[in-house]
Amino acid sequence: MPEISRRNALILGGAGVASVAVGGTGFFLNQGFSSVSSAGTVSGSTFTEPIELRSANGALSVDLESSRQRVSIAGRDVNALSYNGGVPGPTLRVRAGDTLRVSLKNGLADPSNLHVHGLHVSPENKSDNMFVTVAAGDSFDYQYELPADHPPGVYWYHPHLHGFVAEQVFGGLYGAIIVEDPESIPADRERLLVISDISLNSSGNIPAASPMDEMTGREGDLVLVNGQLTPDLVALPGERERWRIINASVSRYLRLRLDGQQLTLLGIDSGRFESPQEIDEIVLAPGNRADLLVTSSLGTSTLRALSYDRGSADGMMMGGGNFRSGEEVALATFSVAGDAVVAQSAIPSQPAQRDLRIAPTTAKRELVFAMGMGGGMGAGMMSPTINGRQFDAERIDTTVQFDSVEEWLLTNTSTLDHPLHLHVWPMQIIEQDGQPVDSIMWQDVVNVPARSTTRVRIAFEDFGGKTVYHCHILDHEDNGMMGIIAAN
C-alpha cells in the first residue's frame, strides 16, 4: 500500500469514519511487526489498573508523594520515579463542581511541582499554577475548584517544572484524572490504559538522555500499559467496554489499532462528539487522551501501536534521528471467549459542543514553531523556539483579553511534528494545512505536523491569570519551546 501523505490526514467527519488522525497528524502502513522487549522484563501478565481514589460529598483530598524508589515495571524491579509507590500514580475520579485537594510532598532530589493536564481550572494561587516550585523535601497544598459545567472526560497529572519535566515524566511521574459523566454511558466495564514508554539498562536504571534524544524528543525501548508489558485483557462476546486511554509518553506518538473489534470514539481530550464515531484507528500525540468504547467480538485481538512518521531530524546538526515510533509495538492482548451477552442499550447522544467558528474574534495571532541554532541545546545543536524566542520565566509572551475569543495560526517551519498544549483553555481546531475542518473538534493538545499549519480558536473565559503554552514533546518544552500567556 503506498504511503499516505502526512499533509492529507483524515479530518474527522460523520459516522462511518475509517480512521482518525488527531490534531492533523497523518499515518502510513507498515507490514512489519515487532514487540519491543528488554532483558528481565515479563510480558503477558493479567491486566491491572492503578489504585483509584473517588470524591465524596463534592470533594477529594489526596496525599501525593513523589520519590525515587524501587518499583515494579514490566514485571521487573527497577529504580524509577513514582507517585505513592506506583507507576502510574493513583487515579483521581471526580465530578464537575468538586473541589480537588492535593498535598504534594516532593521526595525527589530535584525541585518539582504538579500540573493537572487539561482541567479547566484557575491557573493562579494554589490551583494549576505553573510558577510554583516545590523544592526537594518540601510540600505544597494544591486546591482545584472544578466548575459546575466542567466537561467530563479523561485528564491526567504530571510534573511541570521547566527544565525537569521530560526527565520526571519519563522516569514514571504521571497519573490519571477522570471527570465523571453527569449521566452514565452504558458499558459492561471501564478500563484505564495509561500508555507510556521507558528505557532501562541492565542494572534496572533509566539511562540519561543523549543530546540527540533531547533535540528530537526521547522515546523509550519499552512501551507500557499501566506499567505492564503487553498485558492480557479478557471479555465475553458482545460486551461493551469503555477504555480511557492516555498517551503519557514524553515524545512517542501512538497510532492505535485493535483489529477484529468494534471501536466507537466518544471524544478526544476534553472534547466530546455529539454523535459517537465508528473508527478503525486513532493517532494520539503526546498528552492526548481518547475516550473509546470497545464492543467485543469472538477471538483474540492485539492492541497495537503502528508505525507513525513524526518527521525527520536529518536537516539538523549531528545527523538524523531514528524514532522508535517508526516501529510497530504490541501493547496488549484482548481475548474474547465464552457465551455472548445481551447487548447494551444505545449510546445516548451528547450535548452539542460549542462552535467558535461563528463567534466574533477580538484578535488573530500566529505562533511559529522552529528549530533554531544554539540556545539551550549546546554548541552545534538546534534549539526549539516559538516565534524565534526561547522560554523566559520573566517575560510574558502573549497577553489576551479576558472573556474574548481569539484565532491562532500555528505554523510549524521545522522538519519535526510539534504538538501544542495550552493550559486552562481548550482549543477548537478549525483548519488543518489550509483545509477547513467540517466537524467540531476540541482538544487541549493540537498536533502541528512538520512544515504545515493548523488554525484554532480559543475562548479565554471563566479564569484569568498567567499560565503557559508549549510543545508537548517534553524535551522541546524543557529546552525552550514554551511561552507565557496572561489573560487580563
Q: How far apart are alpha carbons 333 and 405 in whole angstroms?
A: 44
Q: Given this model, what pLDDT does residue 43 score? A: 82
Of 287, 249, 281, 251, give the one whose Cα is nearest residue 416: 251
Beta bridge partners of 461: none
- Cβ burial of 322 (10 Å; 0-12, 13-18, 19+) is exposed
Per-residue pLDDT of the chain (488 residues; tens, 9 = 90+): 233 233 333 223 233 333 444 443 322 223 333 333 455 788 889 999 999 999 999 999 999 999 999 999 999 999 999 999 999 999 999 999 999 999 999 999 999 999 999 999 999 999 999 999 999 999 999 999 999 999 999 999 999 999 999 999 999 999 999 999 999 999 999 999 999 999 999 999 999 999 999 999 999 999 999 999 999 999 999 999 999 999 999 999 999 999 999 999 999 999 999 999 999 999 999 999 999 999 999 999 999 999 999 988 755 544 444 566 678 999 999 999 999 999 999 998 888 899 999 999 999 999 999 997 655 555 456 789 999 999 999 999 999 999 999 999 999 999 999 999 999 999 999 999 999 999 999 999 999 999 999 999 999 999 999 999 999 999 999 999 999 999 99
For the chain, domain boundaries: 6-39+187-336, 52-179, 356-487
User: Could you say which DSSP state residue 27 is in?
Assistant: -
- The CATH number of the structural domain formed by 52-179 is 2.60.40.420
User: Could you say which DSSP state residue 419 is in?
Assistant: E
**Domains 6-39+187-336 and 52-179 alike in fold:** yes
Q: Residue written as cell 484557575?
A: 122
- Cβ burial of 319 (10 Å; 0-12, 13-18, 19+) is exposed
- The CATH number of the structural domain formed by 356-487 is 2.60.40.420
What values do phi and psi take at 349, rounded to 5? Answer: -65, 150
Of 360, 446, 443, 358, give the one whose Cα is nearest residue 404: 360
Name, in order, each residue with C-beta under 8 angstroms of 184's C-beta and a sequence gap of 6 or more. none
**Angstrom distances, CA of residue 44 to CA of 80, 226, 229, 388:** 22, 13, 7, 47
Q: Does domain 6-39+187-336 have CATH number 3.40.50.620?
A: no
pTM of the model: 0.91
Percent of the chain that is helix, strand, coil (3-state, to 5): 5, 45, 50
Q: Given this model, what pLDDT does residue 375 score? A: 52
